[in-house]
Amino acid sequence: MGALKDVVQNHMMQVVALLAMEPPVSASAQCLHEEQIKVFHAMRPIDPQTYVRGQYEGYRKVDGVAARSRTETYCALRIDIDSWRWEGVPFFLRTGKALATKATEAVVEFRSPPKQLFDTAGCAAPETNRLRFRLGSDAGVAIEVQAKKPGDGMHSEAVSLNVDFSQALGDAPLPYERLLGDALAGEATLFASERAVEGTWAAIDPVLGDVGPVRAYAPGSMGPREAGRLTASFGGWVDPRSP
């Protein structure tokens, strides 16, 4: 199917909706889905110019893969949400096989303050503060902030305040164990609604199919170098943390 349809449309888009939606008026599945649908309604169709496809070297030698396959094993893209809250804030997504690190994360990067005190002190500007959501088997949350290093001068260093959910709260049910239980109970909160699914397909429609070149990348890398241009003006991709 390719990375776009296999991972982005039915998994990563739902994560974007959870991050970008307004608080629901209640915890019911209907109210949650209504806020998610608003995000997809405001989501601008993806511009093919902000979409990069990749295929790891050696993929065509895998059993069952066509010798001239153009199926992408990697894709990176930019999403824009035309709403009062998110206007001008880019969302960058990337996923791929045979990458350097196996991790599932959503990283929120905060804006830099309007005045940098470290610059005026003759020191290097600090890194951007980040909120990092870890999903899957390594579920947890971390906030990365700048702390002044002991001693003279205004020198800072990034420190991480980290919570591992399994250590703090105990082991969670297995993913499909929870979904099957909710399905039997008629609980729809964790399931995508029909309108939300239609919204995700509408957003990715301009880049469906054999759109653009398929860039080669080496196994063990973080994907094709062409993906770097998507985030170059925003400081580059944030390296994920492996479990």
Residues belonging to the active site: 11
Judge contact between 81 and 36, C-beta under 8 A.
no
Q: Rounded to an integer, what is the distance from CA 60 to the centroid of its chain? A: 27
In total, the chain counts a number of residues equal to: 243
Residue by residue, DSSP assigns 137-186 as GG-EEEEEEEEEPSSSS--EEEEEEEEEHHHHH-PPPPHHHHHHHHHHHT
Degrees, nearest 5: CA angle 154-160-163: 155
H or E stretch covering 238: none
- How far is the C-alpha of 90 from the C-alpha of 79, rounded, in Å? 6
Instruction: List Cα–Cα distances, 183 to 33, 180, 239, in angstroms.
Output: 16, 5, 36
